[in-house]
Structure 1
Amino acid sequence: MKITVVGASGMAGSRVVTEALVRGHHVTAVFRGDPPEAPHPDVDVVRGDATDIDHMRGVFAGTDAIVSATRPAPGAEDTVAATISALLDAAGGTRVLVIGGAGPLRSPSGGLVIDDPAFVPPEWRTIASASTTQLRACEAHPGDWVYLSPPAILEPGPRTGSYRRGTTTILTAADGSSRISAEDLAIAVVDELERPRREKHFTVGY
């Protein structure tokens, strides 16, 4: 499979590149800044801005699936809707897996995760709100997309090879925590690309 990862320099995107390579896929890694040298013979590295529709159409030509792992810079959270809409326009019907945020998930206590301080402390609220806006922009777009909401805590860690998959309610462990390593999130991403399911919005966690 030919997979294009937009936001390949980030925590999630870089792990998706690695996981896809381990499974024998060819990857195009898209960097907003100057791209590094190709780290692997099955990686094409290109420079691209997700909002540059014409350029990204060329980048996406011939790809089988696209992963959007972009994240707004602090203070630029209001750009997420325009960014994902432009990327979906450029995809031209190719399936896009959007790695979003936990904000739009349902909380076990009722309501949305964004409104539950057990999962979203005040200092995270702005980015969590952006993920809710991002999902709404996807829902308003006619393209072929699927939205992955990570658990409340996503951070580098071990690749355990295991995870649980849910739909639109946040997954928690027995101790009430909600987390996954970026390495195991990448496994879930490539699993979905290889064996797509019907859900348009899903989550994963331990």
Structure 2
Amino acid sequence: MRIAVFGASGAVGSRVVAEAVARGHEVTAVVRRAVVMPEGVRVSIGDAGSADDVEKISAGHDLVIAATRPAVGRESELPVVAAAMLDGVARSGVRLLVVGGAATLSVPGAGALLHETPEFPAELAAIAQACAEQLAACRADAEADWTYLSPPAELIPGERTGSYRVGADELLVDVDGVSTISMEDFAVALLDEAERPVHRRARFTVAAS
């Protein structure tokens, strides 16, 4: 597959690029400024917040992965980027996989979304709201072929096991109530969905097995 990854230099994006390359895909890393990428990865300078850039760069690809994340204090940019990504891929006719947030997942037994629980950190309120608007933008879109992947409560650097559990709109937790996955296995799940689409125009989530 020919895959364009927006936000390719970020924590998740770089792991997505590595996983895609390891699987033999042709990867275009889309970044705001020139960076060093693994051998064989094409680098393209572009703005995920520009529908024109998204359309131009995505043309000729089989899939676009949106792995962008705004800096602290600029969280409101996230739904704006989502709208631009959706518009751009709708024009080019390329499928879109969005790396989303966990805040809008329902918590088992709590009767509330993750960001509505008392334990949810106040300092994450802005990004939680932005992710909620990001998901809403996807669900409201009538043109793009999108898929939205929510991580569990904890998405951290770790090991690639190649194993994970899949859910829909409910937070996945283990027997101890822990909800986590490594960024490496998150990338595995993302590329599995890229290669074998199951959640077209839908949100799903994953967590460590």
TM-score (norm 1): 0.94
Q: Which residue of 1 aligns with 2:139?
A: 139
**AA of the residue aligned to 1:27:** V
Distance in 1, Cα, partners of 2:162 & 2:193: 14
* Alpha-carbon displacement from aligned partner over 1:124-149 (angstroms, at most 9, x marks no partner): 22211211111001111121101100
Q: How does 1:1-206 map to 2 (within 5 A)?
A: 1-32=1-32, 34-41=33-40, 43-91=41-89, 92=91, 93-108=93-108, 109-118=110-119, 120-142=120-142, 143-198=144-199, 200-206=202-208
C-alpha distance in 2 between matches for 1:62 and 1:14: 22
Is the CA contact (8 Å cut-off) linking 2:16 and 2:187 kept in structure 1? yes
Q: Which runs of 5+ in 2 are unaligned?
A: none
Unaligned runs of 5+ in 1: none
Amino acid paired to 1:205: A
Secondary structure at 1:98's aligned position in 2? Answer: strand
Write out per-residue CA displacement over residues 98-128 of structure 1, whole angstroms, 9 at most, x where no aligned residue. 001001111111121111244x222222211
Contact 2:8 2:31 in 1 (8 A): yes
Runs ≥4 residues deviating over 3 A: none
* Deviations 1:177-203 (CA, angstroms, capped at 9, x unpaired): 111000000000000000000450100
Q: Partner amino acid for 2:166?
A: R
Distance 2:36 2:71 in 1: 24
Q: Count residues with an aligned counterpart.
A: 203
Q: Which amino acid in structure 2 is aligned with residue 82 of structure 1?
A: V
Q: For residues 16-60 of structure 1, what are the alpha-carbon distances to aligned partners after superposition, in whole Å with 9 as ceiling and x for unaligned?
A: 00000111101000112x22244212x111111112222222211
Identity %: 49
Tell me the TM-score normalized by structure 2.
0.93
Alpha carbon RMSD of aligned pairs, Å?
Answer: 1.2
Other structure's SS at 1:77 match: coil
Instruction: Indicate conservation of the 8 Å contact 2:50/2:81, yes or no.
Output: no
SS across alignment from 1:97: strand
Contact 2:5 2:29 in 1 (8 A): yes
Distance 2:96 2:74 in 1: 22
